[in-house]
Structure 1
Amino acid sequence: MNNPNVHTKMRWSLLLPAALSLLVCSCSNLKYLPANEQLYVGGKVNFDPKVKDQKDLTEELEGLLRPKPNSKVLGLRYKLWLYNISKPPKGKGLNYLLHEKWGEPPVLARTLDLDKNRDILVNRLQNRGFFQGAVDADSSGKNRKVTAVYTADAGHRYTIREVRFPQEDDPLDSLIRGTAKSTLLKPGDYYDLDRIKDERERIDAALKEQGYFYFSPDNLIMRVDSSLGGVVDINVRVKDDAPEKGLRPYAIRNININTNYSLSGNQRRRRGEEYTYGDFSILDTRHQFRPIIFKRSVFFKHGGLYTRRMHNLTLNRLVNLNVFKFVKLEFTDVLQNPKDSLAREKARDTAGIERVDFSERPQATDSLGRGLMDANFYLTPDKKKSLRFQVSGYSKSNNFVGSEVSISARNRNWLKGAELLEVKLAGGFETQVGGKQVTGSSNSYSLSPEVNLYIPRFITPFKGINGSTIFVPKTILNVGYELLKRTGFYNLNSFRFQGGYNWKENEAKEHTLNVVSVNYVLPSHITDTFQHRLDLDPVLRQSFEKQFIIGTNYNYVYNDQLIRESRFNTYFNGNVDVAGNLLGAVMGKHDFEHPATIGNIPFSQYVRLSADVRNYWKLNKNVRWVNRLFIGYGYAYGNSRSLPFVKQFYIGGSNSIRAFRARALGPGTYYTRENNLFANEAGDIKLEMNTELRAKLFGLVNGAVFVDAGNIWLQRATPERPGGEFHFSKALSQLAVGTGVGLRFDFSILLLRLDLAFPLRKPYLPEGRRWVLDQINFGDAGWRKENLVLNIAIGYPF
């Protein structure tokens, strides 16, 4: 089967039926149309003459057209086709899914209203500054398909000549005038109604920071003078009928916190149950919370001016404590005391008895004339203790199957200061169910208890570093143990302790700094069979020696998808991991042949850097193009001649180069001839690139086409892995390349992923023969067995 003509014919034999099926599906949709009906296939907007920013304007206007045509992927109206091949359902089942869930009824041309669409387009053009804009509407039909065509004569686009802010001297007008330097309306910019609305929102937000709690964007009027010939003047002022409450700043009088609020309202409150802590009046009848958490989370102060920043900051802090199920904040106006003579409206009845009507009491103010409000917090505690049990199963591409059982207990308010205590216990097993059996390696078992403590503040010797962002900083302590038992080979014990901090700079930026990270690795019960393997592989032998890994690591994540989902989003994850540097400096000169030790146990020394960059391009509402670049570099020194095995990079598997099995690729051009059941290849340097086109198909089913490339290398050459050393000039020629297709089933709570991949380039083959495109033969069972890799996983690979 090495004849290229045979392969060419085979590829055409696969592609032609697929192409013909697409054509048939596309044409067959028309035959299902009712008699005398036509299919509406969409509308387009043309500008005559052309205008500036025409592409964006065209896209905006076309997005307003109704109805929306049937959706397409790669030119195929697949949802319409599914609808057509099914029948109106009489019950649940496949026909119901095709017709009601995955399918889409035809959009008929008779539902098109050209006049209504034309009016909508003219209105939008005027909102964008084309005050004399006109639109002609027409439609064309061919082969029972109708397309709407709108031709826009936009005319002159008005620009802003001048923006005038209030000139009066009263406090409110002065504040509005003071925001002018930040205005969104710039002379020379095009008139844009949405930008004018945004300007009102901007002014309102600025006033909220000055205490104007009741002010609203609707209290502003933006008068536009368009009689100047091609330009406009915009006059900003407060409406004459704006409510009086909106024209006055407000300060906080009392801060009341109810920590056990019931949504049902069925709660009894006894006099004297509140207590005072600083500026707060706290009602905590069950004594669940230490008041210090409110001092760190509530940023309003008695007598302080209301600001929206403090409002949002406080609510977010309380929510992010993760101890309250519901957080509610209400502000109530403070009215003048009934005994105040200014508040009394007196009247005498016929018996001479004085009546006092307090229903219209005026609002109380402070000495600065500011209105007064009480801030009332209603907090509903979440369930303090919870228990979670989970069972999972998996199947690997190397004929191993396994299962894991985990149980975790959580205490959300362990020390009454919103601390989270988490205790986990997990155990699992793995066994071989097919393929070539390797004596003694069929079963493995794992056991891993772990304790995590999350404290909602920085614990440091320094004061005032907890900050005032909406995110709660955390001090994190972790203690864990892991036992991995490989029957017939070894037991590997790993003890770890980690202490550090986690904080978010904003919604997109997150930092994690582990000041202390200690890992003690202790192998035991090593059999003669595995010892022989260690004797032949010094790198593997070093990873199975008793050793300490003591160091510090820092991780930074930027993800603007958390801020907004736009046409282009970026993700970045950078990590710095260093170990043994301070210990090495204290203990003096040493090397891996004569290592420094702690209690006769050597410790690792290395610097490890990695960067993961991803971008997400939204091509349209159903198709997204995702790319990833991963670069990793590790340098071992002093006590170590390579990174510890747990810190080395590996490649392949369901989240990497999917055409190659995990840890079975590299380093460099090296290739292990042993059975992949024991694949454990790793390296000090890694380069990986991935590109994936993702498309929504129907219902909960999504599809993908992908290409992966990359490899790992060693920092130093070793005779046991010839060709594994990194050389910059040879790196690109040693990349592995794979491709494939995938299906993803999005069940909302989880995403099940199936990726079928095969290699295009094998770096371990001789130069000139590494590309293997001419060997692809889906009809050959031997080729499929050797090259096709099915990856089953949860979640996206990146």
Structure 2
Amino acid sequence: MKPNYLSILTSFFISIFCVFTFFSCNPTKTLKPDEIFLQKVKIKTDNKKIDKDELYRINKQKTNKKILGIFRFHLGAYNLFYKRVDNFKENIGEPPSLYDSTLTENSANQIGLYLKNRGYFHNKITYSTKLRKNKVKLFFDVSTGVPYTINELTYNFQDPSLGGYILYKKNNSLVKPGINFDVDILDKERERIKKILKERGYYYFSNNFIKYKVDSTTGNNQVNLELQILNNKTKDPSSENSYNETNHKKYAINNINVFISKNIRNQGLNNFDTISYNDIVLHYTNKLKFKPKMIRHSIDFKPRDTYSLSDQNSTYKHLSELRLFKNISLQYDEIDSNRLNSNIFLTPLASKSFAIEGIGTNTGGDLGVEGNVIYQNKNLFRGGERLTLKLKGGIEIQRLVSVSTNENEIFGSPFNTLEFGPEATLEFPRFLLPFNLEKFSKRANPKTTISSTLNFQQRPEYSRSLAQFSFGYFWNETIFKKHFVTPLNVSYIKLNLTPEFQTKIDAENNPFLKNSYTDHFISAIQYSFILNNQEINKLKDFSYFRFNFETAGNLLSSINRISNTPANESTGAYDFLGIRYAEYFKTEFDFRHYLNKKYSSFVQRIALGVGKPYGNLDVLPFEKSFFAGGSNGIRAWQARTLGPGSLPDSLTSTVNQIGELKIEANIEYRFDITKIFEGAFFIDAGNIWILKKDSQRPNAEINLSRFYQDLAIGFGTGLRLDFNFFIIRFDLATPLKDPSSDNPKKYEVLIKNTTLNLGIGYPF
């Protein structure tokens, strides 16, 4: 799309936003004579320890949603189309918030109750209004008073045998003398005690058997707590109003039965075949398609073990992680006063599948279409081994670098890049190692992955053939931490440059660029760590951190030097299989923090990567180098057109711009427009650099004294279509500070250079 069209499109979006904002500035336009617009709600508290966001959430008098805390965009849409009856007004628009004195009174009561539950028994909530015409501002004044604290905690066990389990873990108690009286903490303590006892065999124990007796007469704003563990009560059949009290029963596992069938509910026990293996009994229909060893390995308890809640949960987790069963159910039958039969019901998924898929692609801002033919066997050797065979092909619109003809077009279309090839991946649900890690395996859900790829790519500038093989491991340290280790990742890359592109490379007379586009072999070792503390289906702030490290060529280099292998006379470097191999290390980290609200989120991201070539090849291979720009980076520049450093435009090669160091920071504000449409505002900053000074590319190397000058800054707005299973993203981005300009320190809004980015999914 030409820049002038982008300017028109940008102006259009800005105009639409301004129109909606204008109509939101007159919020009382659609009010009835007796209605009052709720313009503002302000809550003031004298206690910094109170979470004000929680008070606003409790308040039932809500104002209209605002974008960036300023613009009532949705109210503007409602006012603009008020007289129309259609989905547009209903889906995007939001009617004006009205003041309701009853809701205000309820809000004050709810805030007071919230504070009492947190120990502020003598709180005082007042509210006032400031009315101007038919608009009102509502103010809550929250005085918490002195909180009540816990003076003494005692225990009352109707069954003394339970006391040992609870008092043994007393140091882990959430309720301790000196802390504020807090109902939430008391409830969490009940849950903790329940888990302790269910872990010790008390299968039927629940929170209902834990009560608190509160004595607030001690004075000095203190309470004494008595934590009571009650016995089980059963109705006395001989008397209508009488109950019998009995101690809680402790259970052990008796038999373990596993039922495997596609239709378990309609199967009689006589229809199952049976096999015993290592203390479990497998009941199955037709043919047993799973190795008993795999099933047994996933079950974390055995006969005569004391019932344990954690064993039950981890068994369910391990069976789920096999991804072989559609439904998993664990049930227990009481056999006598202290024994349970464990019954595990499994409904298998189809083990083989065949699929054809077509998807849109976006590689660094280059749009394309990809089609895949996929065959999958989820249980190749009957042990949960997952084989995936994929034949992929795609076409893409690549930014032309040095060609000016249409001879690269495919089928007369604007697509000028073709890519196809097969992939094969075999995943084992365990470590393939010469030694056994049974306990570690049960806890960490390890996997071993073997994959191979053959790929051919025809681009306007060159054709590339790739053969790749990798062998690696993956495991979970916790539910939030993941590790990836790839001890073997080899790639054979062969490039065939077009004469026009070869001429361009030769004309550059730059060893860095020339070596970046040569045949090479990569033998790498990789490690990755991911920390992601997001809790699914919970509206909470969370962070994401990813760290990668990769090194290549060290083993081959050591072998060549030890064996005194002669170097290639023409290059002065060592070869492997007749081709020069790369030697480098590369590391990256990416940190993101997400601040989530009900209708909006604010995302902050910083990413850094550095790669250092050495030894056998003095540049990073092209596919291992860093680039800036594109739909997932600094969006005001197209992919591979920014940098390195503040290299002037007059010296910038028309060859893709790559570097050895990348620093990037982004902030993005996302807000809901409708259930499907989402808007965004963002600012991106960063660049790429080379590590060593290059006389042919002045100011391209990293230099701390010139760092600010080298930074590129862009800003923009976006529209996203969220279909739950995927997101289509449109981002308009404009340069604000261009390091390649004549004055790289100058801030200037370059509307004519606005870039439209189309992406799949969020940028980060």
Determine the structure 2 residue equivalent to 1:60: 54
> Are the aligned partners of 1:624 and 1:693 in contact in 2 as well (CA < 8 Å)?
yes
Matches within 5 A, 1:269-284: 269-270=269-270, 273-284=273-284
User: How high is the TM-score relative to the length of structure 2?
Assistant: 0.88
Q: Name the CA shift for 1:466/1:413 in 2 (closer, same or farther; >3 Å).
A: farther
Whole-Å separation in 2 of the counterparts to 1:631 and 1:396? 20
Q: What RMSD over aligned residues (CA atoms) do the two structures have, in Å? A: 3.1
Counterpart of 2:106 in structure 1: which amino acid?
K
Q: Name the CA shift for 1:51/1:715 in 2 (closer, same or farther; >3 Å).
A: closer
Whole-Å separation in 1 of the counterparts to 2:513 and 2:401? 25
Whole-Å separation in 1 of the counterparts to 2:255 and 2:228? 33
Matched, 1:231 2:203: no
Matches within 5 A, 1:454-465: 454-464=427-437
Matched, 1:528 2:499: yes
Q: Name the CA shift for 1:70/1:386 in 2 (closer, same or farther; >3 Å).
A: same
Whole-Å separation in 2 of the counterparts to 1:103 and 1:187? 52
374, 380, 385: which one aligns with 1:408: 374
Q: Name the CA shift for 1:16/1:177 in 2 (closer, same or farther; >3 Å).
A: closer
Q: After superposition, give the CA deviation of every residue in 1:307-331 in whole Å (9 maximum; x if it has no partner).
A: 1111111101111111111111111
> Are the aligned partners of 1:165 and 1:237 in contact in 2 as well (CA < 8 Å)?
yes
Q: Shift of residue 483 of structure 1? A: 0.4
Q: Name the CA shift for 1:591/1:568 in 2 (closer, same or farther; >3 Å).
A: farther
Q: Shift of residue 188 of structure 1? A: 1.3
> Are the aligned partners of 1:405 and 1:428 in contact in 2 as well (CA < 8 Å)?
yes
Determine the structure 2 residue equivalent to 1:5: none
Q: Which runs of 5+ in 2 are unaligned?
A: 1-10, 235-244, 410-415
Q: Shift of residue 279 of structure 1? A: 1.3
Matched, 1:648 2:625: yes
Determine the structure 1 residue equivalent to 2:135: 145
Counterpart of 1:763 in structure 2: which amino acid?
P
Determine the structure 2 residue equivalent to 1:186: 176
Q: Shift of residue 391 of structure 1? A: 2.0
Counterpart of 1:63 in structure 2: which amino acid?
R
Counterpart of 1:545 in structure 2: which amino acid?
T
Matched, 1:630 2:586: no
Matched, 1:384 2:314: no
Q: Name the CA shift for 1:409/1:272 in 2 (closer, same or farther; >3 Å).
A: closer
Determine the structure 2 residue equivalent to 1:669: 646
582, 586, 599: which one aligns with 2:577: 599
Matched, 1:327 2:328: yes
Determine the structure 2 residue equivalent to 1:32: 30
Determine the structure 1 residue equivalent to 2:260: 259
> Are the aligned partners of 1:578 and 1:607 in contact in 2 as well (CA < 8 Å)?
yes
69, 74, 80: which one aligns with 1:79: 74
Q: Name the CA shift for 1:396/1:471 in 2 (closer, same or farther; >3 Å).
A: closer
Matches within 5 A, 1:487-498: 489-498=461-470
What SS class does the counterpart of residue 256 from structure 1 fall into? strand
Whole-Å separation in 1 of the counterparts to 2:539 and 2:329? 31
Q: After superposition, give the CA deviation of every residue in 1:5-30 in whole Å (9 maximum; x if it has no partner).
A: xxxxxxxx999989985674234331
Matches within 5 A, 1:171-182: 171-182=161-172
Matched, 1:794 2:757: no
Determine the structure 1 residue equivalent to 2:483: 511
> Are the aligned partners of 1:320 and 1:471 in contact in 2 as well (CA < 8 Å)?
no
Whole-Å separation in 1 of the counterparts to 2:464 and 2:667? 37
Q: Name the CA shift for 1:719/1:533 in 2 (closer, same or farther; >3 Å).
A: farther
User: How high is the TM-score relative to the length of structure 1?
Assistant: 0.84
Counterpart of 1:595 in structure 2: which amino acid?
A
Determine the structure 2 residue equivalent to 1:689: 665
Determine the structure 2 residue equivalent to 1:773: 747
> Are the aligned partners of 1:316 and 1:470 in contact in 2 as well (CA < 8 Å)?
no
Q: What is the aligned residue count?
A: 728
Whole-Å separation in 2 of the counterparts to 1:434 and 1:15? 29
Matches within 5 A, 1:290-301: 290-301=291-302
Q: Name the CA shift for 1:734/1:430 in 2 (closer, same or farther; >3 Å).
A: same
Q: After superposition, give the CA deviation of every residue in 1:21-40 in whole Å (9 maximum; x if it has no partner).
A: 56742343313112222223
Counterpart of 2:263 in structure 1: which amino acid?
S
> Are the aligned partners of 2:119 and 2:148 in contact in 1 as well (CA < 8 Å)?
yes
210, 219, 234: which one aligns with 2:200: 210
Whole-Å separation in 2 of the counterparts to 1:240 and 1:471? 38
Q: After superposition, give the CA deviation of every residue in 1:451-509 in whole Å (9 maximum; x if it has no partner).
A: 0011100010121256255652110000101101235x532111000001011111211
Q: Name the CA shift for 1:378/1:602 in 2 (closer, same or farther; >3 Å).
A: same
Moved more, 182-191 or 717-726: 717-726
Q: Shift of residue 575 of structure 1? A: 0.6
Identity of aligned residues (%): 31
Q: Which runs of 5+ in 1 are unaligned?
A: 1-12, 90-94, 336-362, 364-370, 779-783
Q: Name the CA shift for 1:71/1:527 in 2 (closer, same or farther; >3 Å).
A: closer
Whole-Å separation in 2 of the counterparts to 1:511 and 1:423? 25
Moved more, 514-523 or 126-135: 126-135
Q: Shift of residue 516 of structure 1? A: 0.6
Counterpart of 2:211 in structure 1: which amino acid?
I
Q: Shift of residue 120 of structure 1? A: 2.5
What SS class does the counterpart of residue 484 from structure 1 fall into? strand
Determine the structure 1 residue equivalent to 2:595: 617
What SS class does the counterpart of residue 570 from structure 1 fall into? strand
Matched, 1:451 2:441: no
Whole-Å separation in 1 of the counterparts to 2:210 and 2:448? 46
Q: Name the CA shift for 1:284/1:544 in 2 (closer, same or farther; >3 Å).
A: farther
Determine the structure 1 residue equivalent to 2:445: 472
Determine the structure 1 residue equivalent to 2:719: 743
> Are the aligned partners of 1:458 and 1:465 in contact in 2 as well (CA < 8 Å)?
no
Q: After superposition, give the CA deviation of every residue in 1:615-652 in whole Å (9 maximum; x if it has no partner).
A: 2223x433322221111111111111011111111111
Matched, 1:135 2:125: yes
Matched, 1:101 2:80: no
Determine the structure 1 residue equivalent to 2:472: 500
428, 431, 434: which one aligns with 2:394: 428
Determine the structure 2 residue equivalent to 1:346: none
Whole-Å separation in 2 of the counterparts to 1:138 and 1:726? 58
Q: After superposition, give the CA deviation of every residue in 1:217-259 in whole Å (9 maximum; x if it has no partner).
A: 1101111111101211111121255567871221111111112
Q: Name the CA shift for 1:131/1:777 in 2 (closer, same or farther; >3 Å).
A: closer
> Are the aligned partners of 1:759 and 1:772 in contact in 2 as well (CA < 8 Å)?
no
Q: After superposition, give the CA deviation of every residue in 1:422-460 in whole Å (9 maximum; x if it has no partner).
A: 011111223579999613554331112100011100010
Whole-Å separation in 2 of the counterparts to 1:405 and 1:729? 48
> Are the aligned partners of 1:577 and 1:608 in contact in 2 as well (CA < 8 Å)?
yes
What SS class does the counterpart of residue 715 from structure 2 fall into? strand
Determine the structure 2 residue equivalent to 1:355: none
Determine the structure 2 residue equivalent to 1:558: 531
Whole-Å separation in 2 of the counterparts to 1:486 and 1:20? 43
What SS class does the counterpart of residue 31 from structure 1 fall into? coil
Whole-Å separation in 2 of the counterparts to 1:156 and 1:731? 52
Ranked by relative contact order (alpha carbons within 8 Å, sequence separation 6 or more), the top structure is: 2
722, 729, 737: which one aligns with 1:761: 737
Whole-Å separation in 2 of the counterparts to 1:445 and 1:464? 45
Counterpart of 1:476 in structure 2: which amino acid?
T
Whole-Å separation in 2 of the counterparts to 1:575 and 1:279? 43
Counterpart of 1:613 in structure 2: which amino acid?
F
What SS class does the counterpart of residue 78 from structure 2 fall into? helix
Matches within 5 A, 1:572-587: 572-587=545-560
Q: Shift of residue 149 of structure 1? A: 4.1
